[in-house]
Amino acid sequence: MLYQYLFWFYSHPAVYVFVLLGLGTISDIIPVFARKPLFGYKGVAVSSIGIAAGGTLVFAHHMFAAGIPGFLRIPFMVTTLLVAVPTGVKVFAWVATMWMGKLRMTVPLLFVLSAIIIFTIGGLTGIPLGIVPTDLYLHDTYFVVGHFHATLFGGFLFPVMAAIYYWFPKATGRMLSEKLGKIQWLVITVGTACLILPMFGLGLEGMRRRVADYSLVSGFQSLHITTAVGGFLIFAALVMLGYNIVNSLKRGQVASANPWGSLTIPWLVSSPPPEENFAQIPEVVGNPYGYGIKGHIHARLKPEQDGEGTEIG
């Protein structure tokens, strides 16, 4: 029991280290391709603090079935459900930002859209796992495996894919192939659905984790085959990404300094950035998400002596 307390006290907040990175990436990319300011910018920023703080107070929900004292179950159930509030703030803000926006269906945005859907599935399936009576039934079943994969894929893997396609031109000076990127997005999205969704059905039917042979139980094998197909599709999509990166480094389209029309500071300089980074000190003069606001400027490079500054807006 002591090992479980120590393990989950560390390991559950560690999941949020991954997820917060992905959620921040989503918040940064959506306004660029919706051409709208990020809805509720301050609320989105504060919600990250809420997720980080709340994530340290929910670890014992992994131990509802481990024999912990009954008086500990209720407070940890409440904190588990409360951490969904700041997460919901982010999802609402993302959807509100895209609402009535001028969406450009580029590869980064496609990965972000898949991330939001899959992460929401992960969040919604986490609610019954945070409620003591349902968790006692679902604990250590494939429902938990599906929930965890949905949370990590939607909260980390897909945002990382979006980040690679978004920042690759800035880092390398070359554009990744949009055509191959869209094929990869479709394959990995379908593969993730095939991998994750059957796990929820398996868990509800009582399929336990870490059991080698369920050959005598009808109906389980076909769902396991579906998850295996999903895993192979995800692997194939990652191979496509590797090929796209290697090929684009050699023969990719040359990227301009700001191919996406972003407002944030890194896009003030050439792609790839010069060795000395900024020749002049950047000066922030406005909101980084002021898309669609006439005359808006986020930052400018201070002019050199007898020269003109460079603005981004």
Which pTM was predicted? Answer: 0.91
Q: Note down pLDDT in tens along the chain; length 313 residues.
A: 899 999 999 888 888 888 999 999 999 999 999 999 999 999 999 999 999 998 888 989 999 998 888 888 999 999 999 999 999 999 999 999 999 888 999 999 999 999 999 999 999 999 999 999 999 999 999 999 999 999 999 999 999 999 999 999 999 999 999 999 999 999 999 999 999 999 999 999 888 888 766 666 667 888 889 999 999 999 999 999 999 999 999 999 999 999 999 988 888 888 898 888 787 788 888 888 888 888 888 888 876 544 455 555 5
Q: Is the dihedral of CA 198, 204, 206, 210 positive or negative?
A: positive
C-alpha–C-alpha distance, residues 253 and 295, integer Å: 30
Look at the block and give the residue holding tokens 């389209």: 253
pLDDT at 304: 57
C-alpha pair distances (Å), 191 with each of 34, 64, 153, 228? 27, 32, 11, 9
Spatial strand order in the sheet of 310-312: 282-284, 299-301, 310-312
Burial 153-191 (b: 16+ CB within 10 A, else e): bbbbbbbebbbbbbbbbbebbbbbbeebbeebbebbbbb
Assigned CATH topology for domain 2-251: Cytochrome C Oxidase; Chain A (1.20.210)
C-alpha pair distances (Å), 289 with each of 42, 45, 137, 138? 12, 13, 45, 42
Contact by Cβ (8 Å): 303, 280: yes
Contact by Cβ (8 Å): 193, 231: no
C-alpha–C-alpha distance, residues 167 and 275, integer Å: 17
pLDDT at 286: 85
Question: Which residues, other chains included, contact 276 with Cβ-Cβ below 8 Å and sequence gap of 6+?
Answer: none
Domain boundaries, given as residue ranges, for the chain: 2-251, 256-313
pLDDT at 306: 43
